[in-house]
Chain A
Amino acid sequence: MSDVGSGVANVPARVALSQPGAAAVVRLAAPWFALAVAFAILPAIFTSGSALTMLNLMGIMIVFALSYNMLLGETGLLSFGHAVYYGLGGFLVVHAMNTVIHDRLSVPLPVIPLVGGFSGLLFGIIFGSVSTRRAGTAFAMISLGLGELVASSSLILRGFFGGEEGVSTNRTKLLHMFGLNFGPQIQVYYLIAGWCLLSMVAMYALTRTPFGRMCNAVRENPERAQFVGYNPRTVRFIAFSLAGLFAGIAGGLAAINFELVNSSEVGAGQSGLVLLAAYIGGIGSFIGPVIGAVLVTWLEVMLSDVTDVWQLYFGLLFIGMVMFAPNGIAGLMMMHAPLWQARAYGSMLRLALTYLVALGPALVLLAGLILVIEMTYHLSVKASEGTAISVFHVALDAASVIPWVAAAILTFGGFWLFRLTWPVVGAAWHEAFAQAHGTGIAK
């Protein structure tokens, strides 16, 4: 094969190494090994039943959010209807489980999520063939429309979707192996953790393939990708189908966990939730959606106990991140990476101190906003229950003037003080980066 002209410079010696050595393999596998160990010992640390429930939810959400990021973060496809593949995976799994139970087939539970994966892949291919004809904004709207189509069909296809109550199953009635009937939550945890780990490894591996690299290329510049030989539509279609596969696995795990699937699992709410989780965590990195899934699940469980309007706080958090931290939590962390690489620990510490200083007024501002929201809520909708409320364990009467004055002071005062801290943080930031650049590490 004729190469770049005839007078090409000597190829440097390092190219001669063709296979990654054993050391490289260990370095590659080590984080996953550590993760597996962490998954294994988590229940020993968080022992309560409610903690275990939350861990199960997180495991499911991690797989779901990572599958979503295959579309958004990797390929640049913003979907508002990804829950379709999640929910349909769940439905196919419950129907499969019921069939296995009914016909007494020798299928053990741990294999069942494969059905979810198959379902996700199947519907991903079917709907993907139509959806991926467009990209960008049009694709987003199409995904919304298809999501509504499937969600609305649930009222028509009552046999499959089980009507309003949904379809239920019993995970203990499948073939027992090694004495496990998967009744206890801890057994379900290890099932979910195992599949979560497997899915994470698989999805990460996908990013390290020629296909995975071209997904990034198509995201960056679909036209250029064409001019290096790739059809962007094909890349998107494959990404869509594979993302559906893993969403189906997540849905199957959820079906096993809850032993119930209903049409809300394919709906816009679920699609919005996974979008929120992936975005808040950070769509620019592999670990972002994992962080987002964990955080959003935790918030969902914790906040809903504390306040009725927790979804409003979610939405505000999301808007806040879109406006001020579009790369998510992972992105915020990555911003500090050059400092870490340059080992500028001194300036990092100083920076952290300024963050703490800024945190104070920010919390005051937050308290004021929470007060306003909670009091409004209790004045309007819940007025029938009386206007006495308890915010941060302080008893208040939302109808009287004093708490409102307090809220106004906290909000505006907090914001004003917060603004004062911005130059301080900015200066510490510049100083820290100047140091990092000075050591020659940052580019």
Chain B
Amino acid sequence: MTAPAIELTDLHKNFGATRIIRGVSLRVPAGERHAIIGPNGAGKSTLFNLISGRLTPTSGAVQLNGENVTGLPPHQINRRGVARSFQVTNIFPRLSVWENVRCAVLWSLGYKYAFWRGIEGLADVRERTEIILQAIDLIDRRSVQAGVLAYAEQRALEIGITIAGGAGIILLDEPSAGMSVAEAARAVALIRKVSEGRTLIMIEHDMGVVFDLADRISVLVYGQIIASDVPARIKRDSAVQTAYLGTAA
């Protein structure tokens, strides 16, 4: 049996005396679309930070595809096939849209720190950047400075940067935050398309998006997972209803 894409074992994270993550264990098999929901302050972004290497766990282990990556810095975890987006848009503001995506494809195509090759002549870089821009529907805005894009466009670019490297495990932190219904629908379609054949973990507040996309849902409350199951059973779970969903209208 192949190792799960992500395995968290009794993860704890304390900030001084404050315990944010209090013993989270989770197994996400490869290819699954997994959503993490929960009230504000539950520690969802902290959990992402622990998985992606932005924070080091106080105790517990993070394993990617069977390999223990606990405590590795973000760039090393990214090179092992994990890409993430951010809740607060985290792009390269003064670079053009084209440049933003291009920077995201370079490492995965193996160019690393090459200062002896001209970038304009690299056909695979150009092709891949074009493909990503087409997918996020920003191909016509390629020369625009990323910082002046509209909010929804920036969120799309954020997703584009995240998927550009071809990572097998994608972490999306509230991808549809601040979007209108139409924009969110487009974002969902994009996410469904790009996560085909890959493992997706998503933090979301929009229940429509969650129940639409997710194969399984985990509910995080006060730093602990109180339920982790298929959407149908999560909806009916009384503990989840009390903590988060509310009873059916």
In the complex, the answer to whether A210 meets B52 with C-beta atoms within 8 Å is no
The answer to whether A377 has its CB under 8 Å from any CB of chain B is no
The answer to whether A63 has its CB under 8 Å from any CB of chain B is no
In the assembled complex, the Cα of A216 lies from the Cα of B126 at a distance in Å of 18
Q: Select one of A15, A208, A224 contacting B120, CB under 8 A.
A: A208
In the complex, the answer to whether B75 meets A226 with C-beta atoms within 8 Å is yes
In the complex, the answer to whether A4 meets B163 with C-beta atoms within 8 Å is yes
Query: A211: which B residues are within 8 A, CB to CB?
Result: 113-115
Identity of the chain A residue whose Cβ is nearest the Cβ of B122 in the assembled complex:
A210
Would you give the shortest CB distance from A144 to chain B, in whole angstroms? Answer: 27
Interfacial residues of chain A within 214-251, with CB under 8 A of chain B in the complex? 214, 216-217, 220-221, 223-232, 234-235, 238, 242
Query: B91: which A residues are within 8 A, CB to CB?
Result: 221, 224
In the assembled complex, the Cα of A206 lies from the Cα of B113 at a distance in Å of 11
In the complex, the answer to whether B107 meets A206 with C-beta atoms within 8 Å is no
Identity of the chain A residue whose Cβ is nearest the Cβ of B114 in the assembled complex:
A210
Query: B116: which A residues are within 8 A, CB to CB?
Result: 209
In the complex, the answer to whether A213 meets B103 with C-beta atoms within 8 Å is yes
Identity of the chain B residue whose Cβ is nearest the Cβ of A209 in the assembled complex:
B115
In the assembled complex, the Cα of A208 lies from the Cα of B120 at a distance in Å of 7
In the assembled complex, the Cα of A346 lies from the Cα of B45 at a distance in Å of 54
In the complex, the answer to whether B118 meets A205 with C-beta atoms within 8 Å is yes
Query: A18: which B residues are within 8 A, CB to CB?
Result: 123, 126
In the assembled complex, the Cα of A5 lies from the Cα of B91 at a distance in Å of 23
In the complex, the answer to whether A221 meets B90 with C-beta atoms within 8 Å is yes
In the complex, the answer to whether B74 meets A227 with C-beta atoms within 8 Å is yes
In the complex, the answer to whether A223 meets B90 with C-beta atoms within 8 Å is yes
Query: B194: which A residues are within 8 A, CB to CB?
Result: 4-5
Query: B196: which A residues are within 8 A, CB to CB?
Result: 5-6
The answer to whether B188 has its CB under 8 Å from any CB of chain A is no
In the complex, the answer to whether B131 meets A11 with C-beta atoms within 8 Å is yes
In the complex, the answer to whether B120 meets A220 with C-beta atoms within 8 Å is no
In the complex, the answer to whether A4 meets B132 with C-beta atoms within 8 Å is yes
> How does the 8 Å CB contact mask read for B118-137 relative to A, with 1 for contact and 0 for none?
11111101110011101100
Q: Select one of B112, B130, B148, B197 contacting A210, CB under 8 A.
A: B112
The answer to whether B83 has its CB under 8 Å from any CB of chain A is yes
Query: B78: which A residues are within 8 A, CB to CB?
Result: 226-229
In the assembled complex, the Cα of A233 lies from the Cα of B137 at a distance in Å of 33
In the assembled complex, the Cα of A1 lies from the Cα of B168 at a distance in Å of 12
The answer to whether A331 has its CB under 8 Å from any CB of chain B is no
Q: Select one of B95, B112, B161 contacting A228, CB under 8 A.
A: B161
The answer to whether B20 has its CB under 8 Å from any CB of chain A is no
Could you tell me how many residues of chain A have their Cβ less than 8 Å away from some Cβ of chain B?
Answer: 43
Query: B106: which A residues are within 8 A, CB to CB?
Result: 210, 213-214, 228-230
Interfacial residues of chain B within 155-187, with CB under 8 A of chain A in the complex? 161, 163-166
In the assembled complex, the Cα of A399 lies from the Cα of B54 at a distance in Å of 66
The answer to whether B153 has its CB under 8 Å from any CB of chain A is no
* Given A228-B161, A229-B165, A4-B92 contact (CB < 8 Å): no
Identity of the chain B residue whose Cβ is nearest the Cβ of A224 in the assembled complex:
B90
In the complex, the answer to whether A220 meets B92 with C-beta atoms within 8 Å is yes
In the assembled complex, the Cα of A242 lies from the Cα of B131 at a distance in Å of 33
Query: A31: which B residues are within 8 A, CB to CB?
Result: none
Q: Select one of B52, B111, B134, B195 contacting A9, CB under 8 A.
A: B134
In the assembled complex, the Cα of A231 lies from the Cα of B73 at a distance in Å of 9
Would you give the shortest CB distance from A219 to chain B, in whole angstroms? Answer: 9
Would you give the shortest CB distance from B87 to chain A, in whole angstroms? Answer: 13
Query: A1: which B residues are within 8 A, CB to CB?
Result: 166
In the complex, the answer to whether A8 meets B134 with C-beta atoms within 8 Å is yes
Query: A2: which B residues are within 8 A, CB to CB?
Result: 166, 197
Would you give the shortest CB distance from A28 to chain B, in whole angstroms? Answer: 9
In the assembled complex, the Cα of A238 lies from the Cα of B135 at a distance in Å of 34
The answer to whether A20 has its CB under 8 Å from any CB of chain B is yes
Q: Select one of B54, B99, B130, B193 contacting A216, CB under 8 A.
A: B99
In the complex, the answer to whether A210 meets B119 with C-beta atoms within 8 Å is yes
In the complex, the answer to whether B95 meets A230 with C-beta atoms within 8 Å is no
The answer to whether B245 has its CB under 8 Å from any CB of chain A is no
In the complex, the answer to whether A213 meets B74 with C-beta atoms within 8 Å is no
Q: Select one of A12, A20, A216, A234 contacting B113, CB under 8 A.
A: A234
In the complex, the answer to whether B108 meets A8 with C-beta atoms within 8 Å is no
The answer to whether B102 has its CB under 8 Å from any CB of chain A is yes
In the complex, the answer to whether B121 meets A214 with C-beta atoms within 8 Å is no
In the complex, the answer to whether B79 meets A229 with C-beta atoms within 8 Å is yes
In the complex, the answer to whether A225 meets B103 with C-beta atoms within 8 Å is yes
The answer to whether B24 has its CB under 8 Å from any CB of chain A is no
Would you give the shortest CB distance from B116 to chain A, in whole angstroms? Answer: 7
Would you give the shortest CB distance from A9 to chain B, in whole angstroms? Answer: 5
Query: A231: which B residues are within 8 A, CB to CB?
Result: 73, 75
Query: B132: which A residues are within 8 A, CB to CB?
Result: 4
The answer to whether A212 has its CB under 8 Å from any CB of chain B is yes
Query: A230: which B residues are within 8 A, CB to CB?
Result: 75, 106-107
Query: B54: which A residues are within 8 A, CB to CB?
Result: 223
A208, A224, A228, A234: residue with the most chain B Cβ atoms closer than 10 Å: A228
Q: Select one of A224, A229, A238 contacting B107, CB under 8 A.
A: A229
In the assembled complex, the Cα of A71 lies from the Cα of B103 at a distance in Å of 19
In the complex, the answer to whether A4 meets B135 with C-beta atoms within 8 Å is yes
Query: B123: which A residues are within 8 A, CB to CB?
Result: 18-19
Which B residues contact A (CB, under 8 angstroms)?
52, 54, 73-75, 78-79, 83-84, 90-95, 99, 102-104, 106-108, 111-123, 125-127, 130-132, 134-135, 144, 148, 161, 163-166, 192-197
Question: 4 more A-B contacts (CB under 8 A) besides A1-B166, A230-B107?
Answer: A213-B119, A220-B93, A223-B90, A230-B75
